Amino acid sequence: MTTFLILTVVVLLAVALWQLTKIFDLTQVGGGNVNDTQIANDNDNKVNGYLMFAFLGFIYLTTILCLLNYSDLPLIGDAASEHGPQVDNLMVISLVLIFIVQTITQALLHYFAFKYRGRQGQKALYFADNNKLEFIWSIIPAIVLAGLILYGLYAWTNIMFVDEKDEQDAIVIELYAQQFKWEARYAGADNVLGKANVRYIEGVNNLGVDLSDPNAQDDFTAPELHIPKGKRVVFKMRSQDVLHSAYMPHFRAQMNCVPGMVTSFSFVPTMTTAEMREKPSMIAKVANINAIRAKKSEKLVADGQTALDPYTFDYLLLCNKICGASHYNMQMKIVVDTPEEYAAWLKENSAKTIVQAVKTAAEEDKASETPAATSKDTSSTAGKDTTVVAQAEPKH
Ligand SMILES: [Cu+2]
């Protein structure tokens, strides 16, 4: 609202100034040395030439102020994966190149606009083409772009190529995308994901895992994505409905999730969540976020609402394709553990397999369907119920 008001005031001021200059012009009518033609004279051109320089100064000044006030140089850092620094290098090289090129070209553009401003009696030189000039302005960008693209391709193949040995030792995790949440499926002890198909989706088997597949027997899902530091993780991505994109910014990883096919991305995490929280740059960032939250909370509390929780850093898996109304909220927490912590987590969670969950759900269903006459059995121990239902199963 404040911004809107400020903008309105600026526009009104501009209109007022314009009107004032018109009135000033009208008062000059009849004066001796007034040029009232619509054709620019030398003086007009000179003013415009200097205004060009003023504008150049203005954009440079804005750039410097923005860099000082709003940037967090070097813009990106603290990559938490082995290949991360390669991506960061590419980004920094591109940014620096663009910055240098734009600084020089803007200076030249405005300088030439000033130098060749209109002068009475001066004619423009016309020439159809200049091979030397065209050669120079084609070959320089061609060489620079070829360099950037080659380096980019080299980095891409480096990141995407995983040799067989590495892949065998890696942990295989499926990332399943749907509007608007992520689910992670671990391959279990055999490290092979069971087959899955959207046609098998039923009840608690919401990933469509083929329960008859031997490889699926030890697959389990988790509400949080846990991965160990220093070990290669291979992600297999699927989507249930529309295009999504699995985006893990701190690991410099992104891959589209396409309905009907499996895509993959693999990386080695190099920093645990705890280590990342200890980084000075991260501490500063979190402190900054919490200062903003505290300010907002003051306002909220004054309005009788509850204060915001303080922020603690966590790695995130986000969706980076606009996939629908709640796209912005499609995220999952990633926890990078030490190998020991990961082993402990695995021990705790790997027993909750999908096959087991489906079985339990089916048993619970049957138990609730049991006629009232036998319902007294259900009041006894859960273990007894299970056997009853299991025996009753073939009759259905
Ligand atoms: Cu999405």
Residues of the chain with pLDDT > 90: what percent?
Answer: 35
Cβ–Cβ < 8 Å for 389, 366: yes
The residues, ordered by sequence, that sit 6+ positions from 79 with a Cβ below 8 Å of its Cβ are 85, 87, 88, 250, 251, 252, 270
Phi/psi at 4 (5° precision): -60, -45
Closest CA relative to residue 80, chosen from 286, 287, 228, 222: 228
Closest CA relative to residue 195, chosen from 184, 207, 177: 207
Q: Which pLDDT band holds residue 377 (cuts at 50, 70, 90)?
A: very low
Query: What is the distance in A from the centroid of ligand 1 to the CA of 342?
Result: 28
In the predicted model, is pLDDT for residue 384 greater than 50?
no
Query: What is the distance in A from the centroid of ligand 1 to the CA of 81?
Result: 23
pLDDT of residue 33: 55
The residues, ordered by sequence, that sit 6+ positions from 39 with a Cβ below 8 Å of its Cβ are none
Query: What is the distance in A from the centroid of ligand 1 to the CA of 240?
Result: 10
Query: What is the distance in A from the centroid of ligand 1 to the CA of 330?
Result: 6
In the predicted model, is pLDDT for residue 374 greater than 80?
no
Query: What is the distance in A from the centroid of ligand 1 to the CA of 186?
Result: 21
Query: What is the distance in A from the centroid of ligand 1 to the CA of 78?
Result: 26
CA atoms of 108 and 46, how far apart (whole Å): 18
Residue 22 CA, distance from chain mean position: 51
Query: What is the distance in A from the centroid of ligand 1 to the CA of 316?
Result: 14
Q: Which pLDDT band holds residue 290 (cuts at 50, 70, 90)?
A: very high
Query: What is the distance in A from the centroid of ligand 1 to the CA of 293?
Result: 27
Pairing mode of beta strands 244-248, 315-319: antiparallel
CA atoms of 123 and 116, how far apart (whole Å): 10
Query: What is the distance in A from the centroid of ligand 1 to the CA of 270?
Result: 26
pLDDT of residue 32: 52
Query: What is the distance in A from the centroid of ligand 1 to the CA of 237?
Result: 12
pLDDT of residue 74: 62
- List pLDDT tens digits, range 236-265: 999 988 999 999 999 999 999 999 889 989
Going from N- to C-terminal start, the domains of the chain cover: 41-120, 164-275+313-349
pLDDT of residue 385: 36
CA atoms of 385 and 378, how far apart (whole Å): 6
Residue 74, preceding peptide bond in cis (omega within 30° of 0): yes
Query: What is the distance in A from the centroid of ligand 1 to the CA of 198?
Result: 17
Cβ–Cβ < 8 Å for 363, 382: no
User: 332: which strand partners?
Assistant: 317
Q: Determine whether 111 is exposed, middle or buried from the number of CB atoms within 10 Å of its CB (0-12, 13-18, 19+).
A: middle
Tokens 């500063």, residue located? 284
Query: What is the distance in A from the centroid of ligand 1 to the CA of 332?
Result: 12
pLDDT of residue 31: 54
CA atoms of 95 and 151, how far apart (whole Å): 15
Homologous superfamily of the 164-275+313-349 domain (CATH): Cupredoxins -  blue copper proteins (2.60.40.420)
The residue-averaged pLDDT of 351-379 equals: 69
pLDDT of residue 117: 85
Q: What is the model's pTM?
A: 0.72
Altogether, the residues listed in the chain come to a count of: 396
Q: Which pLDDT band holds residue 391 (cuts at 50, 70, 90)?
A: very low
Query: What is the distance in A from the centroid of ligand 1 to the CA of 357?
Result: 26
CA atoms of 30 and 27, how far apart (whole Å): 8
Mean pLDDT of the chain: 83
Query: What is the distance in A from the centroid of ligand 1 to the CA of 184?
Result: 15
Query: What is the distance in A from the centroid of ligand 1 to the CA of 254?
Result: 13
Query: What is the distance in A from the centroid of ligand 1 to the CA of 255?
Result: 12
For 43, the 3-state DSSP assignment is helix
Of 200 and 32, which is predicted with more confidence?
Answer: 200
Query: What is the distance in A from the centroid of ligand 1 to the CA of 323?
Result: 5
Which of 26-30, 127-131, 318-322, 386-390 has the least mean pLDDT?
386-390
42-73 burial by CB neighbour count: b if 16+ within 10 A, else e? Answer: eeebeeebeebeeebeeeeeeeeeeeeeeeee
CA atoms of 83 and 158, how far apart (whole Å): 8
Query: What is the distance in A from the centroid of ligand 1 to the CA of 328?
Result: 8
pLDDT of residue 43: 86
Query: What is the distance in A from the centroid of ligand 1 to the CA of 325?
Result: 10
